[in-house]
Amino acid sequence: MTEAPATITYASVVSRETVRIALTMAALNDLEVQVGDVSNAYITAPVTEKIYTTLGPECGEDKGKLAIIVRALYGLKSSGAAFRKHLGDCRRSLGLHSLPCWP
Mean pLDDT of 19-41: 85
In terms of pLDDT, which residue wins out, 37 or 56? 56
Average pLDDT over residues 53-75: 92
Q: Mean pLDDT across the stretch 76-84?
A: 82
Phi, psi of 45 (to 5 degrees): -95, 140
Q: 55, 56, 51, 53: which is closest to 77 by C-alpha?
A: 51
Task: Please give the Cα distance from 23 to 90 (Å, whole number).
Answer: 23
**Residue 85: which pLDDT band, with cuts at 50, 70 and 90?**
confident
* Beta strand residue intervals within the chain, DSSP E: 46-54, 66-71
pLDDT of residue 55: 95
